[in-house]
């Protein structure tokens, strides 16, 4: 028994492979393939190919409300040729970037508190509470925010009760950001918390022993050590808000639109699938670039801080 | 630990504020669902179960619930199966192109659901597979399988890798080792994955909205109410959906806790 557990998995594998040497090679492949293939086949057939088809679709045409296969750059020209699209594009990027930065900033003190000021039991409860929102409907929460933020909503009623002027919150950028925070604040806090809680505590002790003031400890020791989690949190916030059409529509008023709203309009109202596909391909390309640079940034600074 | 900083009051308050922000809409939705008034104003109207009664007598909502439940169940089973296969592959084998394999297995949740919805709609309608309940299952399995894979992979990484090899050396074929060693060990994570993926599918609105055609699910129904007028029915539906999801998650947690307690016990007796 001991000799088996002491072997590395690779060694065990090769040993069993030798003992099975009499079984034909093909038969030996059936077992691993049976487990590996379903996921590969499914995600190829229903994830990779549909995304590829989206690119093909951008070159198709709509004639008499019917899709016609073609190789025509007309949709790209129609979408990219309008300044309107670019203003929507830049606006969506700016809002997602703003949301990622703002939500990360808002989340950090909370994640810091959970990681460094709570004992184990309280921490587990706090994390459990943060997971709950994932199982409530985002749509219902957005609907409830409408009741809070509306011109005659609960917050304005309270303001008027206190003798203040009502404030327009629904159908403004502020409303959209409230929705964005509803969408990703718990996730960002969780991701930041997970990286903060894994920081080597002796680093912080060392900073304290060297009389580093608390603020500088946070900035010079804790933030760099948790860099990966912080960047990951911001990246997820960017990805989620960049593609969200619910908050901009139902809390932001939908006008001016975001790229997500543009897609629903092209698909649902205008029956312009190829143009919606152009927008979608642009979105995915942008997200791939953002994720690529985010990952590079996260790990580059990490390497330097270790060197 | 002795010189741990005292909890600063400001951070306490701040964190409380964050939790208030997170839970305000959840709690308020529940309160509104029991409020007699159509428009939520302060002070609240009387207590009433009217909106729940209305939801329960609405045939469209019943139909939506049955669509959602069916789609969630089928998605859960399918995604858990796919996820287990991939998790086991990642756990057991090294092979050329493994990182590409893991990438296509895990990437779908990072693509905006609206893009997934559009690509699914375009692709499935070419194959005449769109507009049906199984269209939702196909698309949701893509989205949910990575979550199932992550959960099951986590459990497999707790398994002594020599366990399976030992059973091979004792003469069990790989299929028998799978059935008597790997599957029993992974079972709790399979249940967790099943419940979690069902909950995700049950809540997903964007992809379902694109591909479902006339087969409205609950979240799609909510979306269409949202587009129309103010109706506290949404809060009642939200309450029911929340209860359903929480029940699934608690069930998954109970299974998980039980198995880890059993592990701890067997580890103790094993020593």
* Domain limits, chain A: 2-57, 77-306
| Alpha carbon distance A158, A152 (integer Å) | 10
Out of A28-37, A41-50, A267-276, the most confident range is A41-50
Q: Is B198 on the interface with A (CB under 8 A)?
A: no
Q: In this complex, do A284 and B81 lie within 8 Å of one another by their Cβ atoms?
A: no
SS3 for A62?
strand
Q: Is B5 on the interface with A (CB under 8 A)?
A: yes
For the cut 50, the answer to whether the pLDDT of residue A6 exceeds it is: no
Q: In this complex, do B110 and A129 lie within 8 Å of one another by their Cβ atoms?
A: no
B-chain CB neighbours of A287 within 8 Å are: 110-112
Query: Between residues A134 and A273, which one has the greater pLDDT?
Result: A273
CB B123 within 8 A of CB B150: no
> Searching chain B, which residue's CA lies closest to the CA of residue A182?
B22
Q: Which class is A77-306 in CATH?
A: mainly alpha
What pLDDT, on a 0 to 100 scale, did the predictor assign at position B6? 53
What pLDDT, on a 0 to 100 scale, did the predictor assign at position B266? 72
Nearest to A39 among B145, B226, B241 (CB): B145
- Residues 6+ away with beta carbon under 8 Å from A229: A191, A192, A194, A195, A196
> Searching chain A, which residue's CA lies closest to the CA of residue B111?
A284
Q: How confident is the model at residue B122 (pLDDT cuts 50, 70, 90)?
A: very high
Instruction: List, for residues B63-94, the tens digit of each pLDDT value.
Output: 999 999 999 999 999 999 999 999 999 999 99
B114: tokens are: 């609206």
The alpha helices in A118-153, defined as continuous H runs, are: 120-131, 138-149
Residue among B111, B202, B92, B204 nearest B152 (CA): B92
SS3 for A63?
strand
Q: In this complex, do A39 and B86 lie within 8 Å of one another by their Cβ atoms?
A: yes
Q: Provide the mean pLDDT of chain A.
A: 87
B-chain CB neighbours of A106 within 8 Å are: 18
Instruction: List, for residues B204-239, the tens digit of each pLDDT value.
Output: 999 999 998 888 899 998 888 888 766 778 888 888
Q: How confident is the model at residue B99 (pLDDT cuts 50, 70, 90)?
A: very high
Mean pLDDT of A9-38: 67
Instruction: List, for residues B258-270, the tens digit of each pLDDT value.
Output: 777 777 777 666 5
Instruction: List, for residues A141-151, the tens digit of each pLDDT value.
Output: 999 999 899 88
A302: tokens are: 């990490």
Q: Is B257 on the interface with A (CB under 8 A)?
A: no
| Alpha carbon distance A208, B166 (integer Å) | 50
Separation of CA B235 from chain center: 21
ipTM reported for the complex surpasses 0.95: no
Q: Is B241 on the interface with A (CB under 8 A)?
A: yes
Angle (deg, nearest 10), helices B233-270 and A138-149: 130
What pLDDT, on a 0 to 100 scale, did the predictor assign at position B249? 73
% of residues, chain A, pLDDT over 90: 59
What pLDDT, on a 0 to 100 scale, did the predictor assign at position A4? 38
Nearest to B219 among A54, A133, A139 (CB): A139
A-chain CB neighbours of B145 within 8 Å are: 39, 42-43
Q: In this complex, do A57 and B122 lie within 8 Å of one another by their Cβ atoms?
A: yes
What pLDDT, on a 0 to 100 scale, did the predictor assign at position A56? 96
Q: What is the DSSP letter of B182?
A: I
Q: Provide the mean pLDDT of chain B.
A: 87
* Domain limits, chain B: 50-270
State the CATH architecture for B50-270: Orthogonal Bundle (1.10)
| Nearest chain B Cα distance for residue A64, angstroms | 17
Q: In this complex, do A12 and B249 lie within 8 Å of one another by their Cβ atoms?
A: no
CB A34 within 8 A of CB A261: no
What pLDDT, on a 0 to 100 scale, did the predictor assign at position A18? 45
Instruction: List, for residues B171-199, the tens digit of each pLDDT value.
Output: 888 899 999 999 999 998 999 899 889 98
Q: How confident is the model at residue A186 (pLDDT cuts 50, 70, 90)?
A: very high
What pLDDT, on a 0 to 100 scale, did the predictor assign at position B267? 67
What pLDDT, on a 0 to 100 scale, did the predictor assign at position A25? 73
Mean pLDDT of A74-90: 95
Instruction: List, for residues A192-243, the tens digit of each pLDDT value.
Output: 999 999 898 898 889 989 998 888 888 888 998 899 999 999 999 999 999 9
Q: How confident is the model at residue A301 (pLDDT cuts 50, 70, 90)?
A: low
What pLDDT, on a 0 to 100 scale, did the predictor assign at position A50? 97
Give the CA count within 13 Å in the CB-facing half-sphere of A152.
3
% of residues, chain A, pLDDT over 70: 90
For the cut 80, the answer to whether the pLDDT of residue B162 exceeds it is: yes
DSSP letter string, B187-222:
HHHHHHHHHHHHHHHHH--HHHHHH-TT---HHHHH
What pLDDT, on a 0 to 100 scale, did the predictor assign at position A9? 45
């Amino acid at each position: 028994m001991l000799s088996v557990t002491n072997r590395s998995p690779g060694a065990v594998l090769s040993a069993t492979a030798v003992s099975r040497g009499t079984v034909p090679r093909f038969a030996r492949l059936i077992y691993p393939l049976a487990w590996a293939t379903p996921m590969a086949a499914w995600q190829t057939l229903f994830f990779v190919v549909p995304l590829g088809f989206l690119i093909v679709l951008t070159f198709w045409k709509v004639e008499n409300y019917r899709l016609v296969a073609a190789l025509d750059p007309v949709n790209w020209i129609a979408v990219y040729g309008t300044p309107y699209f670019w203003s929507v594009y830049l606006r969506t990027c700016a809002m997602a970037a703003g949301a990622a930065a703002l939500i990360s900033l808002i989340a950090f003190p909370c994640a810091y508190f959970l990681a460094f000021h709570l004992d184990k039991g309280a921490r587990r409860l706090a994390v459990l509470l943060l997971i709950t929102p994932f199982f409530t409907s985002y749509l219902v929460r957005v609907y409830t925010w409408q009741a809070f933020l509306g011109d005659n909503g609960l917050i304005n009623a309270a303001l008027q009760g206190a003798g203040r002027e009502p404030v327009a919150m629904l159908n403004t950028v502020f409303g959209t950001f409230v929705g964005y925070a509803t969408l990703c604040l718990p996730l960002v806090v969780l991701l930041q918390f997970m990286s903060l809680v894994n920081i080597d505590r002796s680093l912080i002790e060392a900073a304290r022993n060297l009389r580093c003031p608390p603020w500088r400890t946070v900035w010079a020791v804790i933030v760099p050590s948790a860099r990966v989690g912080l960047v990951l949190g911001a990246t997820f916030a960017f990805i989620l808000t960049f593609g969200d059409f619910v908050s901009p529509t139902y809390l932001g008023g939908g006008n001016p639109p975001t790229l997500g709203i543009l897609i629903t309009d092209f698909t649902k109202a205008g029956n312009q699938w190829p143009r919606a596909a152009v927008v979608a391909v642009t979105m995915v390309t942008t997200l791939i670039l953002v994720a690529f640079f985010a990952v590079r940034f996260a790990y580059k600074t990490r390497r330097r801080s270790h060197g | 630990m002795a010189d741990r900083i005292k909890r600063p009051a400001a951070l306490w308050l701040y964190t409380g504020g964050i939790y208030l922000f997170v839970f305000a809409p959840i709690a308020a939705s529940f309160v509104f669902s029991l409020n007699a008034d159509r428009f939520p104003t302060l002070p609240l109207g009387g207590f009433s179960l009217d909106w729940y009664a209305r939801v329960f007598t609405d045939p469209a909502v019943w139909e939506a619930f049955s669509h959602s439940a069916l789609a969630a169940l089928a998605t859960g089973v399918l995604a858990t199966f796919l996820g287990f296969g991939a998790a086991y592959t990642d756990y057991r084998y090294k092979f050329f192109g493994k990182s590409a394999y893991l990438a296509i297995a895990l990437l779908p949740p990072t693509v905006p659901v609206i893009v997934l919805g559009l690509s699914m709609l375009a692709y499935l309608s070419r194959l005449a597979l769109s507009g049906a309940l199984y269209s939702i299952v196909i698309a949701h399995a893509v989205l949910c399988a990575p979550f199932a894979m992550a959960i099951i992979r986590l459990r497999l990484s707790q398994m002594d890798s020599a366990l399976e090899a030992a059973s091979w050396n004792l003469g069990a074929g790989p299929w028998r080792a799978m059935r008597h060693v790997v599957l029993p060990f992974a079972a709790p994570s399979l249940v967790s994955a099943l419940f979690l993926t069902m909950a995700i599918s049950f809540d997903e609105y964007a992809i379902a909205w694109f591909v479902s055609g006339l087969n409205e699910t609950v979240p799609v129904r909510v979306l269409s109410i949202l587009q129309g007028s103010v109706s506290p029915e949404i809060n009642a539906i939200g309450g029911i959906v929340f209860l359903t999801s929480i029940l699934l998650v608690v069930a998954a947690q109970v299974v998980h806790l039980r198995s880890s307690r059993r592990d701890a016990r067997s580890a103790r007796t094993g020593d």
